[in-house]
Amino acid sequence: MRGVFLPRLLSACVVVVGVCSLVFLLIHLVPGDPVEVILGESSQPADRAALRAALGLDQPIAVQYGHYLQQLAHLDLGQSMHSRKPVVDLLAERIPATIELAVAALTVAILIAVPLGIIAALNRDRVGDHAAMSFAMLGVSIPNFWMGPLLVLVFSLWLGWLPVSGRESSASLVLPALTLGTAMAAILSRMIRTTLLDVLGEDYIRTARALGLGRGRIILHHAMKNTLLPVMTLIGLQLGALLAGAVITEIVFSWPGIGQLTIEAIQRRDYPVLQGCVLIISLTYISVNTLTDVVTAWFDPRIRLRGD
Amino acid sequence: MRERVAWSIILIWALAALIGPTLATGANVVDLDHILSWADAGGWLGYDDLGRPLGARLLVGARYSLLVAFWVVTVSASVGTTIGIVSAYIGGRTDHLIVRVIDIFLAFPGILLAIALAGLMGPGIDNVVFALSVVGWVGFARLARVQTLSLKHREHVQAAISLGSRSGRIMFKHLLPLLASPLIIEATFAVAGVVIAEAGLSFLGLGIQPPTPSWGSMIRDGTRYMLVSPHMVLVPGLTLMLVVLAINLLGDRLGDRLNVRRGGV
């Protein structure tokens, strides 16, 4: 048991430290002077030096790095250069909206992908398969910054059914979730099709069939159960794409989440906020992936029992 | 049939990138009489909010999307493949360290790192290429590493080692050719990914800057005028989708033909 989980958790910790360091390097080595951004280009050299000292930017980079890690360990992400609020508070304000969007998109993806994958697998190389896989191909080829405007054009502007943007009512969640969910549905349905085809060729499916079990029962009870683990792993991996896609989707729909905050931080050159956003998104991704691995291992006795 | 259509689309894309900008001289000419207007004899795909012809702007945009895709995939494929092969071939601590670095880069979801990098470095085509290459090499490195690990114990490699061939020669003469098929397929899908990513960065205002046209920034401009002139969003988006669809389709066919299964999908 421990033999499987402990190394996984340890390597996740190493990656977390690595990600934090890379983000630090990114912010500190890329050209652009935060002091000039705060004070403006016409500021006095003396003022700049004073602020630089106050922010600790005049110290050697190694000292700054140590200070940064120390702050992180205390969950202190610094202060926004724009609003002067603590970055942690700004993130906390925006996180619920992004979680809401991600969960809704994930639901959309599963609701589309599961039936589509099953239809494709059961009709292998026939019309149903081709139709489902063409849809999947289309889904991965339409970027969400075009999908979003298209949906707005049809459902908001022409039909007038749904709001264009914002987060005022539950109806405003529909279009962003569809935009973000379809790309994932496309990848997921291809995966379900492939896995299901593999499983359907197994001996125990033939046995079930020979025993005279109904087709629906075989698919839902015996086959789908065994596609669950690879699908779960893929969902964990795809969550990264989902989070990155959320940045663009939130911009398209003015959805007040972490993605919008990221772009605002870039536009205002608000380094601490940008750093906080990148960190929170990456750390979420690492946690979800580690969790997926552990849960998958837990559900799969072949992995779970190997360590004992 | 489908494959032929896909090849034609890519050929048109390449041709547009090559000679398009010479044909489309009016791409940046502001024409107040044509603001937001539909297609006519002069502008066969309509005009944008400054009366510039969309068709001409698409042609110029084609050059930038192809240019960015070419450079990003070339840089990330060569750097990533080299790192992957060397890491797996040397093994030991070096390999261990490189695997960690790869893991760290993979922990940044999708193009988030590129968005942050492009945002920090400021807009411009060089910065876009740099930001996307920083993200892009990882996939190639991981693929080349895994493949090399399984190939380096093959007899012909062992024979070359015992004959005293230099490591560089073994890696690039005896290992690289065997990695070619999966790498070519990875590169094909990478082109599609980069085309979308470049357009995405430009959509966010972090990529190619106005007045130079990019398909991504054309879509962004279009979203402001969707009610009056939806063609501003539809035309560049459809073009982008067709190109990406064609590349993905060819990648799929290539994968079937070379009998390579992609991890995960």
Min Cα separation B41/chain A (Å): 26
Q: Which element (helix H / strand E) includes B42?
A: none
- Cα B49 to Cα B51: distance, rounded to the nearest angstrom: 6
Which residue from B103, B204, B241 is facing A146, i.e. has the nearest CB?
A: B241
- Cα B201 to Cα B222: distance, rounded to the nearest angstrom: 16
Report pLDDT for B240: 93
Q: Which of B202, B235, B265 to mutate to test the interface with A (most CBs of A within 10 A)?
A: B265
How much is the average pLDDT of A81-108?
90
Report pLDDT for B261: 57
How much is the average pLDDT of A44-50?
82
Report pLDDT for A2: 58
Report pLDDT for B158: 87
Min Cα separation B117/chain A (Å): 7
Residue B202, classified by CB atoms within 10 Å of its CB into exposed (0-12), middle (13-18) or buried (19+), is buried
Residue A7, classified by CB atoms within 10 Å of its CB into exposed (0-12), middle (13-18) or buried (19+), is exposed
Query: Nearest residue of B to residue A230 by CA position?
Result: B264
- B237–A150 C-beta distance less than 8 A: yes
Token pair 């690595």: residue: A18
A267: pLDDT strictly greater than 90: no
Which residue has better confidence, B58 or A168?
Answer: B58
Report pLDDT for B43: 66
- Cα A176 to Cα A257: distance, rounded to the nearest angstrom: 12
Report pLDDT for B122: 83
Report pLDDT for B85: 92
**Alpha-helical regions (H) of B24-175:** 54-90, 92-106, 112-121, 125-151, 155-162, 167-169
What is the greatest pairwise CA distance in chain A? 87
Token pair 């009709």: residue: A123
pLDDT band at A308 (very low <50, low <70, confident <90, very high): very low
Query: Nearest residue of A to residue B193 by CA position?
Result: A141
How much is the average pLDDT of A244-270?
89
- B204–A251 C-beta distance less than 8 A: yes
* Inter-chain contacts counted by CB atoms under 8 A, chains A and B: 137
The DSSP letter of residue B37 is: -
Cβ under 8 Å to A: B residues 116-145: 116-117, 119-122
Token pair 């690039």: residue: B172
Residues in chain B closer than 8 A to A296 (CB atoms): none
Residues in chain B closer than 8 A to A98 (CB atoms): none
pLDDT band at A62 (very low <50, low <70, confident <90, very high): confident
Which residue from A32, A251, A281 is facing B120, i.e. has the nearest CB?
A: A32
Report pLDDT for A251: 92
How much is the average pLDDT of A191-205?
86
Structure tokens at A225: 């159960």
Q: Which of A9, A125, A130, A141 to mutate to test the interface with B (most CBs of B within 10 A)?
A: A141
How much is the average pLDDT of A210-224?
81
Of the candidates A260, A240, A234, the one whose C-alpha atom is nearest the C-alpha of residue A176 is A260
Give the DSSP letter string of A19-82. HHHHHHHHHHHSS--HHHHHH-TT--HHHHHHHHHHHTTTS-HHHHHHHHHHHHHTT---B-TT
Share the mean pLDDT of chain A: 84
State pLDDT tens for residues A12-38. 888 888 888 888 888 877 766 677 767
Which residue from B113, B240, B248 is facing A146, i.e. has the nearest CB?
A: B240
Query: Nearest residue of A to residue B262 by CA position?
Result: A191
Residues in chain A closer than 8 A to B189 (CB atoms): none
How much is the average pLDDT of A269-293?
87
- B204–A15 C-beta distance less than 8 A: no
Instruction: Please state the ipTM of this predicted complex.
Output: 0.84
A161: pLDDT strictly greater than 60: yes
- A262–B108 C-beta distance less than 8 A: no
Distances (CA, A) of B101 to A33, A69, A138, A199, A224: 28, 19, 34, 35, 36
Whether B31 contacts B21, CB under 8 Å:
no
Contacts of B226 by beta carbon, 8 Å cutoff, 6+ apart: A149, A152, A153, A157, B232, B233
- A244–B103 C-beta distance less than 8 A: no
- A143–B230 C-beta distance less than 8 A: no
End-to-end CA distance of chain A: give it in Å, rounded: 6
Which residue from B112, B200, B226 is facing A278, i.e. has the nearest CB?
A: B112
- Cα B138 to Cα B148: distance, rounded to the nearest angstrom: 15
Report pLDDT for B264: 36
B103 to chain A, any CB pair closer than 8 A? The answer is yes
How much is the average pLDDT of A292-308?
72
Which residue from B107, B199, B226 is facing A282, i.e. has the nearest CB?
A: B107
Report pLDDT for A305: 63
- A149–B219 C-beta distance less than 8 A: yes
pTM: 0.87
Contacts of A162 by beta carbon, 8 Å cutoff, 6+ apart: A155, A156, A171, A172, A174, A175
Report pLDDT for A3: 65
Query: Nearest residue of A to residue B226 by CA position?
Result: A153
Q: What is the mean pLDDT of each run of 10 residues along chain B (265 residues)?
A: 87 87 73 70 71 81 92 96 92 92 87 88 89 93 91 86 85 87 92 94 89 89 84 89 92 82 45
Amino acid letter at B250?
L
Which residue from B104, B117, B219 is facing A19, i.e. has the nearest CB?
A: B104
State pLDDT tens for residues A118-154. 889 888 888 888 888 888 888 888 999 999 999 988 8
